[in-house]
Amino acid sequence: MAEVYFFDYSKEESVLRGIASLFTQSALVKIIPQEGSVAMKLHMGELGNITYIRPIFVRRVADLIKRAGGRPFVTDTTSLYPGGRNTPDKYLATAASNGFLEASIGAPIVIADGEGDEGVAVPVESPVEGCELKETRVASKIYHADSLVVLSHFKGHAQTGFGGAIKNLAMGCVTKKTKGALHSVTIPMLDESLCDGCGICVETCPSQALTLENGKLKRDLKLCQGCSTCLFSCPAGALYWPQGAKEQLQVYMAHAASAVLENFKEKVGFINFLQDVTPHCDCAAPAGKPIVQDVGILASLDPVAIDKASLDLIDQAPVILSPAPASPPDLLGRMHGTDSLVQLKTAERLGLGSLEYRLVTI
């Protein structure tokens, strides 16, 4: 049975000491190679988002990695959608605005996929649950690291119910091409009866896949990259995700996560931060008000177990958002109209980890 270590915020003890205890007791320290490169994968927040992982926590982990003999670098990939993270220059500027600088976090910051296309193709073998993903292009700087520490802000997500370790691997460690392939199953559908031809979606589409002809919206699906910018920008609500798309995206994500982990085997560990648990992900600005009381921090060598433990702890936490958006079990999934366990069940089936775990409070 997988072990998940838990630093409980309700104890009101030093968080920095808690992170150090998690790092040691969860055996993360054992995955650090002497003089080897350690990719610290995290989302540094969209410009305007304020609920990403605090830089001081990242600094603590970087210091612990160096103390264990590793050479850490903080990394993420460029976003598919337009904003403050879709090019390396824009992402580095956004990261700096959010407090992520080498001087503040104690490690260099590297955009792992360069301009968005620097990756190594890993075949998707023996797919399950109807996944048609053929390959995953893992961002080069992550692929070539000697070990990987995945730091995830656990929160809600409009398409997948929640974002945690699995999503951080699947969507955050890959190139734009694979991001687009994952999102191909969630390309929005159009309800023509609701479309008023305002053209806002045409203006916001980053791939020029939309045009207006005689006041009617036309789409070129060959150009569409599946980012759903059109859906989020439509004031009339004329665009919607196909039925079953959220669950299918989770299936694809599990396969992508499996491909990312293929290169690390026993050299990967996970830390989930269960605070500022907002309805939406760190790509959103704003991401909404926190749903539950801050819970704590988890660490494990098992990505499935740590995400399942995170879901369970959030289901048990006091709800502070009023009115409550949904009720347990799977509060985050239910509030977004999906079963967020799909990604975990698929990941377990692919051999990434176990839904069964033992929670060890430190």
Task: From the options 3.40.190.10, 3.40.50.11440, 3.40.50.300, 1.10.357.10, give the CATH code of 2-183+244-361.
Answer: 3.40.50.11440
pLDDT score for 25:
97
pLDDT score for 102:
99
H or E stretch covering 38: strand 37-41
Q: Classify 20 as helix, strand or coil.
A: helix
Report, as an integer, the average pLDDT of 244-250: 98
Say which residue the tokens 């290169």 belong to.
263
Nearest to 156 by CA among 318, 332, 295: 332
Residues written for the chain: 362
pLDDT per residue as tens digits for the range 113-141:
999 999 999 999 999 999 999 999 999 99
pLDDT per residue as tens digits for the range 189-231:
999 999 999 999 999 999 999 999 989 999 998 999 899 999 9
> Which residue ranges make up each domain of the chain?
2-183+244-361, 188-240
pLDDT score for 265:
87
Terminal Cα distance for the chain, rounded = 18
H or E stretch covering 7: strand 2-8
Q: Are 300 and 30 in contact (CB under 8 A)?
A: no
* Partner residues linked to 213 by β-bridges: 216
Provide CATH code, domain 188-240. Answer: 3.30.70.20
**Taking the alpha carbons of 106, 112, 116, 118 in that order, is the dihedral positive or negative?**
positive
pLDDT per residue as tens digits for the range 131-167:
999 999 999 999 999 999 999 999 999 999 999 999 9
Q: Is pLDDT at 311 greater than 90 in this prediction?
A: yes
Nearest to 111 by CA among 135, 132, 141: 141
Q: Is pLDDT at 105 greater than 90 in this prediction?
A: yes
pLDDT cut 90: percent of the chain above it:
98
Report, as an integer, the average pLDDT of 13-38: 98
**pTM of whole model > 0.95?**
yes
Question: How many C-beta neighbours within 10 Å does residue 1 have?
Answer: 9
Nearest to 53 by CA among 176, 163, 143, 194: 163
The overall average pLDDT reported for the chain is: 97
Band (18; pLDDT cuts 50, 70, 90): very high
pLDDT per residue as tens digits for the range 280-292:
999 999 999 999 9
**Max intra-chain CA distance, the chain:** 65
